[in-house]
Structure 1
Amino acid sequence: MSLSRRPSAPARTRRRAVALAAQVGLTVLAGVLAVGVVAPDPTGDDATSRGATVRAAALAPAALAPAAAGAGPGAVAPSARKARRPNIVLITTDDQADTDLSAMPLTRRLLGGRGVDFVNAISPHPLCCPARAEIFTGEYAHNNGVKHNDGPFGGHARFAAYRDGRNLRGNLGTWMRQAGYRTGFTGKMLNGYTARSPRPRGWDWWDPTTERTYAYTRTTFLDDGRPVTPKGYATDVLARRSSAWVREQAPAAKPFFLWVSHVAPHEAIVGGKPVGYPFSAERHDRLHHDARPPSMRKPSYNEADVSDKPRYSGIGAKVPEAEVLRTHRQRLRSLAAVDEANASILRTLERTGELGRTLVVFTSDNGFLLGEHRLRGKNQVYDENLQVPLLVRGPGVPSGETSTALAETVDLAPTILDAAGALEDVRRSGRVDGRSLLDLFRGDRARPLSSTVLIQAGTKRRAAVRGNDGWAFRGVTTARYTYAEHFTGQSELYDREVDPHELDNLLELRSGDLRRGARGYADVLDALRSRLRDLRSCQGPAECDRRYPPLPDPR
């Protein structure tokens, strides 16, 4: 596997160091202790304000033991299962750029520093709803049906209706409950979810936000069917609710699985109108007053010549600097509360005696562009959208390591199911496209992830809905190359080893032919197109996690 304490620097390895040097310490709480988790929590009820390979330790056999041969996922007695299988806590953010981790010192220390940091993790469908649907199902959008946030191929309505409710009947909640777990979900659900929407099966505690989800205050939660609107900043409320549920579950015989779904750092939306940036907790309003985003140091920032890129994606006038600075600073301020919330739930796990037997996963649904290529947002083919933070700690997971494996959002459900001992049962039912990341930590039995990953995005544009089944683009990415075909007939190919900022599309935008001076990439292009043909309708790990030979060098 690609594990090391000193990560090498392949084409898509994060470059956090510059941003980290500028921002480290700005959000560090004075109460961080050298031993243990953290000092008193500002989000609690007493708050005063609203590469190279290193052999890793194998995961504890008890944590990964499969169900008895021939038995269903729930065959083991709960008391035995509690001793054998870990609790699991999944924490997600919304629109967090990979480099934003520089402003989350507690999260980096308590999760990345005591677990594995997947520095090349990507969201293969970089948009809120499709990415979360991938987590719910462990499937790519062409298998779970959710290609966009709304429209005929998007939103919770599509998730619920697809194949006569297949996703409602079979999802991460139902599978984990069948495996003998208590299951909980709190926070942002799929786009368009309301109090009247059908509830996915399998969740013992179902606590999604239904009103003012993006307002950051006076947010309504649907607490098992009972609307409640707690006072306070939404991230702090979510921290209290999730920690309270963990305290309730800790004494129980069954292990628990909890998904904590934050809205930060998504831009605030009030009265249906986007604000352009997230709101922060009052205690963080003075943080990051002079922070400058990493994007402003890139040659792709407000790129001078964008004639080689599809214009339908929103590329236009240059993004105003004042807007970029304000947005970046507010995003970091909103993440300061998430950083504290992460420390809070880890402290709760420690105080209840559950931390040592709990697998904790932290990630974002997609990355974020902030001026690169004159773009602001997501749902694009470029690396800043694809890359996401992914930190994992828990029983048997190496401590303080980095992995350069191409881990994906679609791998999260298989990883969680694998830890619960239920993955093979679910796969036998014909579900789940991703691979378990735990495969990387199995010592002599460790298996690498695929070197080529499917990437795709949907759109509401009529031409795509009518003529391309709702797809905006489909493509593949590797450690070196990104290739994509758009519904407009345009194509893009980037060699990120030579062009890490994706400034020069090697293809003629309209014809898809190699540009003059790039003809030496003909064999590379043929191979990437062939791999896209393989993967665009793949189903299950045998088809979606294919092994390919090394790509040819450009001539």
Structure 2
Amino acid sequence: MPVSFRFPLLILLLGLYGCVSQPSSETAPPNILFLFADDQRASTLLNPTIQTPNLDRLRAQGLHFTQAHIMGGDNGAVCAPSRAMLMTGRHLARLEPGGFVIPDEHALLGETLQAAGYDAYGIGKWHNSRHTFSRNFSGGEAIFMGGMYDPWNTPLFHYHPDGDYQDRRPVIQDAWHDNTIDTLPGEYMLSGQHASEVFADAAVAFIESRSAGDKPFFLYTAFTSPHDPRSMPAKYLAAYDSVSIELPPNFLPEHPFDNGQLIIRDEQLAATPRDPEEVRRHIREYYAMISHLDAQVGRILDALERQGLMNNTLIVFAGDNGLAVGQHGLMGKQNVYQHSVQVPLIMAGPGLPRGEQRDALCYLIDIFPTLCDLTGARMPEGVDGHSLRPVIDKETPIREQLVFQYKTFQSAIRDTAFKFIRYEVDGVETRQLFDLSRDPWEQENLLEVEFGRAAALEAALDQWIAQHGLQSRPPQ
């Protein structure tokens, strides 16, 4: 070969080598397995007390984003706006109020992947407008249209391409009194089977149904664990019988001031003042639910291995929001402390680092553009999230600050070290400043010590609210 051809050929080969992790028309796009937990906070992934061998295995195979967050919520059912943000990639301020309804003009993640040639299959919890499910997915099974239910008797739907998910099954309520007839939010129920196992069964069945030559798939499996009511097979609770359950360092018998949500439903799950033993019981059940969920994650991962699909499947594990369970004297998620807004996020699969972590700030809304980036799907207009690709590649952080909002009376902003929180309840303003780098449990209010830093963060918070239309005002 003449010398003049060698260097162009070398350049071409190097160019091809540098693009191996990018999808192209000549390589099959990766499958996507999305596993979504309900109320599982971020700290559960690094807690040595909680038995999660399969999530540990997934972390070892992939990339752990340690600073993933939600933006908050505008109603007590925080999971509804959180799931709407995940599926649309939109800021909290640009959702329909409550997040329950997703307008037709808001592009969806599953819809976007279908346009890129994917089969989109949905399983488990869907806490947004029912007809939207069939826009987001081309198929599905074991679909739960609700927020929470008895995990042993969860009402379910089959997939309906027309989006018709009406309450279908007549049941008797209060049978010993007036025999009131009501309808169940579903068309069938697998009584005696735990919801986590039902959802995992459906996911395994879908994976086992795949054949060579099928389209790539987006398999979304949304569990209802570890959300209450907390019940699980006895062996998972018994596994914690001999384990010393410690109270979190920021345990308090009561929240130190009125945050505007002290009598909401979640805060009634334990008596106030909080009894340490009662809180330990709640923590033990929470851990057991997570361990049972972990076992179902393992079953799904094993199915991928058996079918030879693991090497070409992007796996995402995340949670819709956190939960206090005794921290700061709270039980629920209706607040903007780290235990409630910081969520687990792991990504594993082709082209991603193995056994590494990234500490850059991010939101769940960043998953939508990231999956578009990793699969080659065209990202629609209206997505506010940023691709995590620069974070994955260790190039640059994508966010310097994060803003949080709960209803109209709690708002917060954080950077890589400090977090400022503002409450406006019944005309009373309360402010907090925490140094998360030294005080991750948010115990020491530095407002008086770091007044200048607090003022700067509050100014940035007000600027963000003014720009994006969020308002922070006392509850009406």
Shorter-normalised TM-score: what interval? Answer: 0.7 to 0.9
Structure-2 separation of matches of 1:376 and 1:116? 30
Instruction: Please say if 1:130 is aligned against 2:81.
Output: yes
8 Å CA contact 2:253–2:275 kept in 1: the answer is: no
TM-score (norm 1): 0.68
TM-score (norm 2): 0.78
Instruction: Please say if 1:503 is aligned against 2:412.
Output: no
Match of 2:219 in 1: 258
Instruction: Please say if 1:531 is aligned against 2:460.
Output: yes
Match among 181, 184, 201 for residue 118 of structure 2: 181
Instruction: Please say if 1:350 is aligned against 2:302.
Output: no
Match among 104, 116, 119 for residue 66 of structure 2: 119
Structure-1 separation of matches of 2:438 and 2:292? 38
Q: How does 1:131-280 map to 2 (within 5 A)?
A: 131-145=82-96, 153-154=97-98, 156=100, 159-160=101-102, 162=103, 165-167=104-106, 170-190=107-127, 199-207=133-141, 208-210=143-145, 213-225=148-160, 227-231=187-191, 232-268=193-229, 278-280=230-232
The secondary structure found in structure 1 opposite 2:121 is strand
> Cα–Cα, structure 1 residues 99 and 504, in superposed 2: closer, same or farther, change >3 Å?
closer
- For these two proteins, the number of residue pairs brought into alignment is 409
Say what the alpha-carbon RMSD is for the aligned residues: 2.8
CA apart distance, 1:129: 1.3
Structure-2 separation of matches of 1:418 and 1:534? 30
Task: Specify every segment of 5 or more residues in structure 1 that has no aligned partner in the other structure, as ranges.
Answer: 1-57, 67-75, 146-152, 269-277, 459-470, 508-514, 540-555
The secondary structure found in structure 1 opposite 2:157 is strand
8 Å CA contact 1:89–1:259 kept in 2: the answer is: yes
Match of 1:455 in 2: 404
Instruction: Please say if 1:95 is aligned against 2:39.
Output: yes
Match of 1:371 in 2: 326
Match among 308, 326, 341 for residue 386 of structure 1: 341
8 Å CA contact 1:303–1:372 kept in 2: the answer is: no
Structure-2 separation of matches of 1:474 and 1:139? 18
Match of 2:386 in 1: 435
> Cα–Cα, structure 1 residues 327 and 404, in superposed 2: closer, same or farther, change >3 Å?
same
CA apart distance, 1:105: 3.0
Instruction: Please say if 1:287 is aligned against 2:239.
Output: yes
> Cα–Cα, structure 1 residues 250 and 369, in superposed 2: closer, same or farther, change >3 Å?
farther
Residues 67-98 of structure 1, C-alpha deviations (whole Å, 9 max, x = no match):
xxxxxxxxx6xxx5xx3311111111111122
The secondary structure found in structure 2 opposite 1:483 is strand
The secondary structure found in structure 1 opposite 2:112 is helix
CA apart distance, 1:155: 5.0
The secondary structure found in structure 2 opposite 1:447 is coil
Match of 2:169 in 1: none
8 Å CA contact 2:125–2:146 kept in 1: the answer is: no
CA apart distance, 1:202: 3.4
Residues 98-135 of structure 1, C-alpha deviations (whole Å, 9 max, x = no match):
23334243233321011112222222326211211111
The secondary structure found in structure 2 opposite 1:175 is helix
8 Å CA contact 2:52–2:290 kept in 1: the answer is: no
Amino acid at match of 2:44: D
The secondary structure found in structure 2 opposite 1:113 is helix
> Cα–Cα, structure 1 residues 417 and 487, in superposed 2: closer, same or farther, change >3 Å?
farther
Structure-2 separation of matches of 1:119 and 1:238? 26
CA apart distance, 1:212: 9.0
CA apart distance, 1:336: 2.0
CA apart distance, 1:351: 1.3
8 Å CA contact 1:205–1:223 kept in 2: the answer is: no
The secondary structure found in structure 2 opposite 1:490 is strand
Residues 195-244 of structure 1, C-alpha deviations (whole Å, 9 max, x = no match):
xx554513111442137952111222211138332351111111110111
Match of 1:409 in 2: 364
> Cα–Cα, structure 1 residues 63 and 144, in superposed 2: closer, same or farther, change >3 Å?
farther
CA apart distance, 1:313: 3.1
The secondary structure found in structure 1 opposite 2:135 is coil
Structure-2 separation of matches of 1:62 and 1:230? 45
CA apart distance, 1:290: 4.1
Q: How does 1:416-431 map to 2 (within 5 A)?
A: 416-423=371-378, 425-426=379-380, 429=381, 431=382
Task: Specify every segment of 5 or more residues in structure 2 that has no aligned partner in the other structure, as ranges.
Answer: 1-15, 166-186, 469-476
Structure-2 separation of matches of 1:250 and 1:95? 34
